[in-house]
Amino acid sequence: MRLTLILVCAVSALFGQNQPEVTSHEGAVTFSSKVNLVSVPVVVRDAEGRAVGNLKQEDFQLFDKGKLQTITSFSIERTEAPAFETNAPGSRQQPQAPTTPNPAKSALPERYVAYLVDDIHLQRGDLLQTRRAVNRHLDEALEPNSRAAIFTTSGRMMADFTDDREKLHKAVDSILPWTSGPDPQQDCPSITYYQADYLVNKTQYFSGFLFTDVQILGFASSDQLLSAVLDQAAGCSGASGQPAAPPNSTGNTLPPDVPLIRLVRIAVHQALEYGNRDTSFSLGAVKDIVRRMSVMPGSRTIVLVSPGFILTQDFRSAEYDVLDRAIRAGVTVNTIDMRGLYAMPGFDASQGGAGTQFGGVLAQAAISEASQADDVLGELADGTGGTFFHNDNGLKEGLNLLAARPEYIYVLGFSPQNLKYDGSYHTLKVKVGNLRNVTLQVRRGYWAPNHAVDAAEEARDEIREAVFSRDEIQDIPVDVQTEFFRLTDEKTELTVTGHLEGGALQFRRAQDRNNDTVTVVAGLFDANGNYISGIQRIVELHLRDQTLEGLERSGFTFKEVFNVAPGRYVVRMVVRDGEGKTMAARNKGVEIP
């Protein structure tokens, strides 16, 4: 692959000067950065549940911590995929002019759905139910213009994006419960992640082993959950001088003289360690899939199949990062609670501490834990304009609903004034005109960063998002053409040519030169929307007046060459000037027989 730049102007003006008028190199460039821009997806549904798509910016009011904000950006995302122009099928043995574009749509995927199965948190019985529902759903919902993939929160990709139902079914049937670490159902004392987080981060009784056993026993009289956990531990073998216990789920054997507090401390910190790891894996899986799907050229949806999980304060900024990346990448996260019509847990009499005065305390903690785990699924859906399906046993029907993206999503953007980098949570609220009998799905809030955003890093993200977006931008008129030359039966040279009108660039005058920096990025995607290759070229322009006049009349041409196998492809060319204010992004489909 190679990229060349052709300036249609007087070549003699480019050489023999102290400072070259044109230089070109690969590398990163800093664009204007929307450092404090917060994006808020909003789905408005009427009384029958249909998305409303005829609203304007002035119909919305946006509040941050109750304060009315100025909406600085507004867009409407529609589910319709773009119709990529494609060259008519054909090949040549000798160089010739670019083939004539065919206005018909390219037979390329228009929708991508990634099913993320939470094998970390789903219980075995729920996982069996999940397999059946997903398999039935795939038989009905996978359309010819769609591609689906199967992922798990433990990090295993079971099936990459494909339209092969057999591969997808095989992947679903291969998902097993992911077990690593303690089992709260078998260990004694049975400490859950929610309980451990409460004891360590909300009471600080166990944090850093700061308190003595006597002090903790004193605190127990004022904290019901701590008292309940200690009471449960007192019934465990190996505690309080009772006979040694058999090995627990982590293989540890407790000696008979283990003090009660030490036993609880070990269980609490162990539950916190493994819970932090599992939450990190779950959020990381969503983030990785968002990054992967950002290179897909069509409508992109993640369906998170999960019973929910606990998100402690330490992970709130990571959740904000996931939501922000999904919004900017145009990825909708839909969620489904695979427990169906779920009865809140009661206290399990088979566990230690049953029948004591603290049984009700543990039952209430279990209810709070289940509710908070469920809330996380709602947050991920609301935060990206998605849908949360829960409290319903029609799991296959729920998956059918979630695989489809809302027809209209409004994306409101605002820049918080005097934002403090203190990591605090900002609640968001949106109001829509005087409409009645409508419901809103809105991002619930965001977390302020703990430090100022690095502009260079933000800029790199922006140029990447522009390349991997499917939207076309025509601030700068750019014409993209393709042609191909058959080298062998298995190898073809694909040439992509982009012609840019020079009059659209914004030059800055300095002494006797007209300066601008043009960044050109060309990317190649296969028929499944997978990124194959690409290149970024930065062109520094320091043009004299005579050269600039010729450039404005004739423009200049970028040419890139790929070596590819026969198949269907999408070429995307992005051109952006040095100020980051004018931009072009064009898609071109090509079929090589």
Question: Is residue 500 in a domain?
Answer: yes
Residues 359 and 339 in one domain: yes
Residues 474 and 520 in one domain: yes
The kind and range of the H/E element at 313 are none
Question: Is residue 516 in a domain?
Answer: yes
CA distances from 417 to 34, 65, 239, 328, 515 (A): 13, 12, 56, 21, 33
The count of domains in the chain is 3
Three-state DSSP at 17 gives coil
Residues 57 and 192 in one domain: no
CATH of the domain at 353: 3.40.50.410
Residues 461 and 529 in one domain: yes
Distance of CA 85 to the CA centre of its chain: 28
- What's the rounded Cα separation, in Å, for the pair 249 and 252? 8
- Classify each residue of 2-27 as buried b or exposed e, where b means 16 or more C-beta atoms within 10 Å of its C-beta: ebeeebebeeebbeeeeeebbeeeee
What's the pLDDT at 285?
A: 94
What's the pLDDT at 380?
A: 94
Residues 321 and 361 in one domain: yes
pTM score over 0.85: no
**Final residue belonging to a domain, choices 387, 417, 447:** 447
Residues 116 and 188 in one domain: yes
The candidate with the shortest Cα–Cα distance to 152, out of 183, 179, 132, is: 179
- What's the rounded Cα separation, in Å, for the pair 199 and 220? 11
Residues 130 and 19 in one domain: no
Question: Is residue 314 in a domain?
Answer: yes
**Final residue belonging to a domain, choices 447, 472, 500:** 447
Question: Is residue 84 in a domain?
Answer: no
Beta-strand relationship, 408-414 and 38-45: antiparallel
Measured torsion, CA atoms of residues 200, 205, 209, 212, in degrees rounded to the nearest 10? -160
- What's the rounded Cα separation, in Å, for the pair 521 and 88? 25
Residues of the chain falling short of pLDDT 70: 1-19, 25-36, 79-108, 180-187, 204-223, 237-258, 297-298, 342-359, 405, 450-465, 468-471, 579-582
Strand order through the sheet with 111-117 = 157-162, 146-152, 111-117, 299-306, 331-337, 388-389
Contact 389, 305 (CB under 8 A): no
Q: Which domain holds residue 168?
A: 110-403
| Residue linked to tokens 């800029």 | 459
- What's the rounded Cα separation, in Å, for the pair 571 and 589? 6
- What's the rounded Cα separation, in Å, for the pair 306 and 121? 7
Question: Is residue 93 in a domain?
Answer: no
Residues 423 and 391 in one domain: no
Question: Is residue 443 in a domain?
Answer: yes
The candidate with the shortest Cα–Cα distance to 33, out of 457, 500, 341, 496, is: 457
What's the pLDDT at 219?
A: 52
Residues 291 and 146 in one domain: yes
What's the pLDDT at 170?
A: 95
Residues 375 and 486 in one domain: no
Contact 292, 326 (CB under 8 A): no
Rg (alpha carbons) of the chain, rounded to whole number: 29
The kind and range of the H/E element at 453 are none
Residues 63 and 122 in one domain: no
Residues 304 and 396 in one domain: yes
DSSP annotation string for 360-420: HHHHHHHHHHHHHHHHHHHHHHHTTT--EE-S-S-HHHHHHHHTSPPSEEEEEEE--TT--
What's the pLDDT at 523?
A: 86
What's the pLDDT at 250?
A: 42
First-residue to last-residue Cα distance in the chain? 20
- What's the rounded Cα separation, in Å, for the pair 90 and 402? 40
- What's the rounded Cα separation, in Å, for the pair 521 and 31? 14
Question: Is residue 89 in a domain?
Answer: no
The candidate with the shortest Cα–Cα distance to 68, out of 438, 560, 533, 430, is: 430
189 preceded by cis ω (within 30°)?
yes
Question: Is residue 167 in a domain?
Answer: yes
| Polymer length in residues for the chain | 593
What's the pLDDT at 243?
A: 36
